A = this chain, B = another copy of it.
Amino acid sequence: MKPVTNEVEVKTKAAKAASKKLACLATDIKNKALFSIADELIANEKSILAANQIDYSEGEKAGMGTAMLDRLLLTPERIRAISSDIRSVAALPDPVGETFEMRTLPNGLQVGKRRVPLGVIGAIYESRPNVTVDISAICLKSGNAIILRGGKEAIHSNLSLAKVIQNASYPVGVPEGAVQFIESPDRSLIGQMLKMRDTIDLIIPRGGAELIKYVAENAAMPVVTGGIGVCHTYIDHNADLDKATAIAYNAKVQRPTVCNALDTLLVHADVAKNYLPRIVTEWGKAGVEMHCDQRALAIIQPLPSLKVVAASDQDWGREFLALVAAIKVVDSLDEALEHIERYGSGHSEAIVTEDYTAAMRFLNEVDAACVYANASTRFTDGSQFGLGAEVGISTQKLHARGPLGLKELTTYKWIVLGNGQVRP
């Protein structure tokens, strides 16, 4: 059997113990801790950057790609941004303790629900060190203890950030043990975490598709998965083409590296000849590479100076996370719906149309976390939707769908206030 001094076991047990106290912690103490963390991140900028430099150099030596190195990198500006995000979390209302749906039954029993923290949340994530701080802040505010398991490529940065969080929050009243960071790079510890159903209430994987799949399939406790966004925008035959151009341009270009960016543009055949030249000209100026089906190709290829290739089967259902878009001409709303059903990841899907019935059908029939009529899928975001901070975007159906804010990291218990009632 495993030794009892195992790091995951010890730290999970400590987190569980802390979670009991954290669940009842007053809002003002939690906010004080968040402000303290925000301050200390700035105060410890030098040591954080030094630790990050070690990870960065090792990443370079190991031949890490530019995009990944950029995700790993911390700068004074980025630390200030992280610090500022924590202040925003402090400013959000505390979801814990809210009592709702309370009503009095005919026998006089008062029955309702009270919002309470989930307990202990495990985060398994890759590269971006800001996740260490973001998730810790959201968990603290929502009254949850957290066990952090970051990727080994950011181990020095994460350790440094975790220490700052602990040193800043424990002295102002956060129960010691509420923020745990797994230091050992031993990969088998992840497998071990995923088995601890009795102590970890929820696992949040953040990273690539492979990590998320591994966690979802192997965790014994609930997992909130998401982040994979294969997003379609469908331009209907009677779309307003100005709106359609602005929306598709924004969805692809405004920030191409994120999950709610457009991956595939579906265009109704009746409007393809008028619409495609407009959008691809705009996309072309922004440097978008286009992978087109044969019908789209016939329209687009003759146009000057565009990066256009024929789409392969792999382009449908692919999350590009870059200035690349797949384009397909379809004959009907039904064909668009079937394509989305088959290739979408249940994240964000949009229709552009002036037809009422087509919009209603799209909103009703597409099975995704966020369905749009006449707007850019880039709005799928906790801040944009008014939730404040988010720990991720869920593409699963249970518990919470779409952006996961503070409230989504809580559960409820039924509160029953009686006066001696018994069941007849």
Chain A interfacial positions (CB closer than 8 Å to B) = 20, 23-24, 103, 105, 109, 111, 114, 116, 118-119, 197, 201-202, 216-217, 220, 222, 240, 242-243, 246-247, 249-251, 254, 341, 363-365, 367-376, 378-380, 384-386, 396-399, 401-402, 411-423
List, in ascending order, chain B residues with CB within 8 A of A396's CB.
Answer: 222
Q: Which of A254, A385, A419 gathers the greatest number of chain B CB atoms within 10 Å?
A: A385
Q: Is the interface of A mostly helix, strand, loop or mixed?
A: mixed
List, in ascending order, chain B residues with CB within 8 A of A419's CB.
Answer: 243, 374-375
| A-B complex: 5 closest residue pairs judged by Cβ atoms | A375-B418, A250-B422, A243-B420, A378-B423, A397-B411
List, in ascending order, chain B residues with CB within 8 A of A114's CB.
Answer: 363
Which of these, B201, B373, B376, B422, contacts A422 with CB under 8 Å? B376
The answer to whether A246 touches B422 (Cβ under 8 A) is yes
A114 to B371 CA separation, bound complex (whole angstroms): 10
A249 to B161 CA separation, bound complex (whole angstroms): 55
Q: In the complex this chain forms, how many copies of it are found? A: 2
The answer to whether A375 touches B109 (Cβ under 8 A) is yes
List, in ascending order, chain B residues with CB within 8 A of A380's CB.
Answer: 414
A95 to B172 CA separation, bound complex (whole angstroms): 45
The answer to whether A401 touches B397 (Cβ under 8 A) is no
List, in ascending order, chain B residues with CB within 8 A of A373's CB.
Answer: 416-418
A412 to B420 CA separation, bound complex (whole angstroms): 38
A242 to B401 CA separation, bound complex (whole angstroms): 47
A344 to chain B, nearest CB (A): 12
List, in ascending order, chain B residues with CB within 8 A of A413's CB.
Answer: 367-371, 401-402
A374 to B23 CA separation, bound complex (whole angstroms): 24
A420 to B385 CA separation, bound complex (whole angstroms): 16
Given A105-B385, A247-B422, A402-B414, 12 more A-B residue pairs with CB atoms under 8 Å apart are A24-B364, A105-B386, A222-B399, A240-B420, A247-B418, A247-B421, A374-B418, A374-B419, A379-B423, A384-B423, A385-B414, A399-B399
Q: Which of A197, A341, A397, A412 gathers the greatest number of chain B CB atoms within 10 Å?
A: A397
Mind listing 27 A-B residue pairs with CB under 8 Å? A20-B341, A20-B367, A103-B386, A105-B384, A109-B379, A119-B367, A197-B217, A222-B396, A222-B399, A247-B421, A254-B422, A363-B415, A368-B413, A370-B413, A371-B414, A371-B416, A372-B416, A374-B418, A374-B421, A375-B419, A375-B422, A376-B423, A385-B414, A398-B398, A398-B399, A398-B411, A402-B413
A105 to B246 CA separation, bound complex (whole angstroms): 19
The answer to whether A398 touches B222 (Cβ under 8 A) is yes
The answer to whether B217 touches A217 (Cβ under 8 A) is no
A356 to chain B, nearest CB (A): 11
Given contacts A368-B413, A375-B420, A421-B375, contact A397 B24 (CB under 8 A): no
List, in ascending order, chain B residues with CB within 8 A of A402's CB.
Answer: 413-414
Residue of B nearest to A394 (CB): B411
List, in ascending order, chain B residues with CB within 8 A of A119's CB.
Answer: 367, 397
